[in-house]
Amino acid sequence: MHVTYWIVGEDEATLTQCNYFAVLPIKRQLKSTKLFIYSSHLWTGMSVGFIGAGQLAHALVRGFTAAGVIAGNRITASSPDTDLPTVAGLRKLGVNLTMSNKEVVNKSDVLFLAVKPHIIPFVLDEIGPDIEDRHLIVSCAAGVTISSIEKKLFQHRQFPKVMRCMTNTPVVVREGATVYATGTHAEVEDGKLLEQLMSSVGYCTEVEEDLIDAVTGLSGSGPAYAFTALDALADGGVKMGLPRRLAVRLGAQALLGAAKMLLDSEQHPGQLKDDVCSPGGATIHALHVMESGGFRSLLINAVEASCIRTRELQFLADQENISPAAIKKTTLDKVLQQPGVSRAEVGVRGGINLFNNSSPRKKY
Amino acid sequence: MDSTFRVGFIGAGNMAFGIAKGMLSGDVLSTNVTVSAPSQRNFGCFQELGVAVTHSNVDLVRGSEVVFIAVKPHLVPTVLNEISEHVTQKHMIISVAAGVTITTLEELLPAETVVLRLMPNLPCLLQEGALLFSRGSKARPEDGALLSSLLQHCGLVEEGPEAWIDVHTGLSGSGVAFVYLFAEALAEGAVKMGMPSALAHSIAAQTILGAGRLLKDSGKHPAQLRSEVCTPGGTTIFGLHALEQGGLRATTMNAVEAATERARELGRKSAGTGDRK
């Protein structure tokens, strides 16, 4: 299931044209030769599916294929809307696209639920009957608890293997920050599997589920804080005379470099900050301005607000009172057009009751 | 070597007392120390240390090699004028007066005089001072080393350019008062939350003392120590958040800046020059 590929050669350009690898992550030079060894861990025999073909699915697939950890054609993704730009992007990466969630389930071993949180119950109702023992269900939906998923699937499968993960958009450049929590019936190996997969696109570690809201506030939303900061830093540069493109470039590089220094260092960020501030110099003057503006407390407040909102959304979701307006009619119609999907299965009734007690198991 | 030097203090106030006490915990013999002042008011505590007392600044200068000028800043010119003709090249004159520049001191003393400027702070009284000194134009490194060794039991002793003395005033001279303010506020917070005042003050003082000692002895960055106290979702991080929201950091930086600027201003006034730093 898990294979390490090695390619030996002299010419990097030729090697990287090899179909299997978009980027060869690990490169070593054989001593006193001109030969380079490129290696990558590749999964063979394991298929990955995505329910939902939006930003998250696209970012993850781009990351996985760039890391060479799985080939595009071993990935299936479903979306009722084929006009999405992310759908086109996925197609370009070799992903098999379908409008049928059931098809994704049948063709996958690791199944990512990459739809908006309020859609999750509908999806679970629909695919519940098709879940097999082999499936590892990974929900990426913010605020959706493992227990709510296990509860939903219970009528179809008593011991579904469920994991919950919170990642972030920089997986697309393989610098994501991912945490995952393991469900009741998932084994340690399932966690390790997910960790290996997500480690190919950045940092990944296991956490207790009750920390996931905090992670959302910090690293889930984090890139947005950084983009805002970079936009403003660039404005500062432009104000002081720099051309915009250069300002953006330099600002981004400064943050990237600082982050790298911190990750590589044992030192406290406070110490690293001190190392930049020469006495009476420019930087300490700037820092004083930032402190006066309450920079630190703003960031603390932001993380707190994002975390609290995540909890609120989770609370609302747990109420299980999703109004029919919460799901787009067009989306629902397309879902209902799929072969084998009945209204009863998707839990659409007069008022939405997401606990679907009488759905007949359809096999096809 | 220290014990052969005779040390004199012109002025018998708190600073002189603190420094004298510190020196006497080292190698300096009390028989080699004299203090002079116009009134007898403070002589008692010096005499308890075994230090000789006099009312004559001139006698003191003639009988000492190391002379501390420990009078109020506005009295410095008067004192220097009085003793100037008795100052020789064997003397080392150290001014402790805030805001009186080395230039001013050197102008009022004979040309080749070894002059140093010292800024101590209040905890010198307990030998836990922070002292920064600067050498005048005729003071050699050896003179600085001698002063360092005389003062070593007064607390932390460092040498620096004169420009740093104003910053030291703002940080450590006034800084002591900033800490007292913080201590008072800590205690008041505790009183608000239900603790009796006396106990709150006593605990606040010990908290600051303990934290200060840990900061000094551990060698760790204060940010590191702060992180180590903050358990996730615990009480400390909540309290710190409140401090950050109140802009404590910026306010503290403002305080040090304001005190430093004032020290510079006073220095300019006393020097009578209009040069800006």
Q: What is the DSSP string of B151-206?
A: HGGGEEEEE--THHHHHHIIIIITHHHHHHHHHHHHHHHHHHTT--HHHHHHHHHH
Give the pLDDT confidence score for residue A359 in this predicted structure. 40
Give the pLDDT confidence score for residue A23 in this predicted structure. 37
Give the pLDDT confidence score for residue A353 in this predicted structure. 36
Closest CA relative to residue B244, chosen from A305, A292, A267: A292
Chain A partners within 8 Å of B250 (Cβ): 288, 291-294
Give the pLDDT confidence score for residue B146 in this predicted structure. 94
Interface residues from chain A to B (CB-CB < 8 Å): 267-271, 274, 288, 291-294, 296-297, 300-301
Chain A partners within 8 Å of B247 (Cβ): 291-292, 294, 297
Identify whether the C-beta of residue A20 lies closer than 8 Å to the C-beta of residue A5. yes
Nearest C-alpha in B relative to A294: B247
Give the pLDDT confidence score for residue B25 in this predicted structure. 86
User: Measured between CB atoms, which of B227, B241, B247 is closest to A292?
Assistant: B247
What does DSSP assign to residue B39?
Answer: S
- Percent of the residues in chain A that have a pLDDT greater than 70, as a whole number: 74
User: Using the beta-carbon criterion (under 8 Å), do A274 and B253 form an inter-chain contact?
Assistant: no
What's the pLDDT band for A362 if we cut at 50, 70, 90? very low
| Per-residue pLDDT at A340 exceeds 90 | no
User: Measured between CB atoms, which of B221, B244, B247 is closest to A268?
Assistant: B221
Q: In what order do the strands lie in the sheet with B129-135?
A: B52-54, B33-36, B7-10, B66-69, B92-95, B114-119, B129-135, B155-159
What's the pLDDT band for A321 if we cut at 50, 70, 90? low
Helix, coil or strand: residue A32:
coil
The alpha-carbon gap from B224 to the nearest alpha carbon of chain A, in Å, equals 6
User: Using the beta-carbon criterion (under 8 Å), do B222 and A296 form an inter-chain contact?
Assistant: no
Give the pLDDT confidence score for residue A35 in this predicted structure. 63
What does DSSP assign to residue A69?
Answer: S
Nearest C-alpha in B relative to A267: B224
Average pLDDT, chain B: 92
What's the pLDDT band for A322 if we cut at 50, 70, 90? low
Task: Give the span between the Cα atoms of A224 and A233, in whole angstroms.
Answer: 14
What's the pLDDT band for B55 if we cut at 50, 70, 90? very high
Give the pLDDT confidence score for residue A364 in this predicted structure. 34
Give the pLDDT confidence score for residue A326 in this predicted structure. 54
For chain B, positions 216-255, list CB contacts with chain A under 8 A: 221-224, 226-227, 241, 244-245, 247, 249-250, 253-254
A216-251 in b/e form (b: 16+ CB < 10 A) is bbbbbbbeebeeeebeebbeebeeeebeeeebbeeb
| Per-residue pLDDT at A34 exceeds 70 | no
Cα dihedral value A229, A235, A241, A242, nearest 10? 60
Chain centroid to CA B10: 16
Give the pLDDT confidence score for residue B126 in this predicted structure. 87
User: Using the beta-carbon criterion (under 8 Å), do B245 and A297 form an inter-chain contact?
Assistant: yes
**Averaged pLDDT for residues A216-231:** 96
| Per-residue pLDDT at A132 exceeds 70 | yes
- Percent of the residues in chain A that have a pLDDT greater than 90, as a whole number: 62
| Per-residue pLDDT at A25 exceeds 50 | no
The alpha-carbon gap from A318 to the nearest alpha carbon of chain B, in Å, equals 24
Which comes out higher in pLDDT, residue A327 or A249?
Answer: A249
CA angle B33, B36, B42 (to 5 degrees): 95
| Per-residue pLDDT at A52 exceeds 60 | yes
User: Measured between CB atoms, which of B222, B227, B250 is closest to A292?
Assistant: B250
Question: B240, B249, B252: best mutation site toward chain A, by most A Cβ within 10 Å?
Answer: B249
Task: Give the span between the Cα atoms of A174 and A177, in whole angstroms.
Answer: 9
Pairing outcome for strands A161-166 and A96-98? unpaired
**Averaged pLDDT for residues B212-218:** 95
Give the pLDDT confidence score for residue A350 in this predicted structure. 40
Which comes out higher in pLDDT, residue B111 or A339?
Answer: B111
Cβ contacts below 8 Å, chain A against chain B, sum to 40
**Averaged pLDDT for residues A207-220:** 95
Distance, first Cα to last Cα, chain A: 28
Q: Hey, which residues does A110 pair with through a beta bridge?
A: A48, A136
| Per-residue pLDDT at A1 exceeds 70 | no
What's the pLDDT band for A10 if we cut at 50, 70, 90? low
Give the pLDDT confidence score for residue B227 in this predicted structure. 93
Pairing outcome for strands A110-113 and A48-51? parallel
> 0.95 cut: is pTM over it?
no
Q: Per residue in A160-197, pLDDT tens? A: 999 999 999 999 899 999 999 999 999 999 999 999 99
**Averaged pLDDT for residues B55-73:** 95
User: Using the beta-carbon criterion (under 8 Å), do A294 and B245 form an inter-chain contact?
Assistant: yes
User: Using the beta-carbon criterion (under 8 Å), do B223 and A271 form an inter-chain contact?
Assistant: yes
Task: Give the span between the Cα atoms of A155 and A145, in whole angstroms.
Answer: 17
| Per-residue pLDDT at B162 exceeds 50 | yes
Question: A262, A265, A268: best mutation site toward chain B, by most B Cβ within 10 Å?
Answer: A268
